Amino acid sequence: MSKDIHEKNPEEIKSRIKELDKLLQDDPKNIETLMELSSCYRHMDYYDETLKIHNLLISLDPQNVDYHFMKGIVLVESSREDEAIEIFDAIIDKNPQHRDALFNKGLALKRLGKNDESKAVMKKAHAQR
């Protein structure tokens, strides 16, 4: 059984990235491979590369809310909160009860020092069950 990405050291992750890149040469739109590569890049803090993958995923399936949401998460992780909030807002516009988008928008707002707005959004998120 192979180790989970969370259990791998940086050298193992870099090796896996090379393997995944080779797989994508044969099948550049393989969703499972792209998702694993995104995870590897995130663990290495390679945010630009991760965002390229999420842009590709979105181009392959623009209606997939999860791809948009994951891109928002990566934007927060890379300290691009304003861009993340735009994505979370677009998700919330389509589904005002999207708890994860609300919650992560609240986190992004807090990181920007917008504490009152953050609290209001967090309250909405916690109201969703």
Count of domains for the chain: 2
Q: What are the pLDDT tens digits along the chain (129 aa)?
A: 356 666 789 999 999 999 999 999 999 999 999 999 999 999 999 999 999 999 999 999 999 999 999 999 999 999 999 999 999 999 999 999 999 999 999 999 999 999 999 999 999 999 987
Q: What is the CATH number of the domain that holds 52?
A: 1.25.40
75 and 17 within one domain: no
Triad 121, 72, 6: Cα angle to 5°: 110
Position 50 scores a pLDDT of 98
pTM of the predicted structure, to 2 decimals: 0.90
**pLDDT in the model for residue 2:** 54
- Residue in the structure block whose two tokens are 């694993």: 36
Q: 101 in helix, strand or coil?
A: helix
Note the pLDDT of residue 64.
Answer: 97
* Residues spanned by the domain of 4: 1-62
Judge if 70 and 129 occupy the same domain.
yes
Closest CA to 41 of 64, 66, 70: 70
Residues in the chain: 129
Instruction: Give the pLDDT score at 3.
Output: 60
Taking the CA atoms of 61, 65, 66 and 70 in sequence, report the sign of the dihedral they define: positive
Closest CA to 23 of 35, 11, 13, 33: 33
Tokens 């993340």 sit on residue: 84
pLDDT at 5: 67
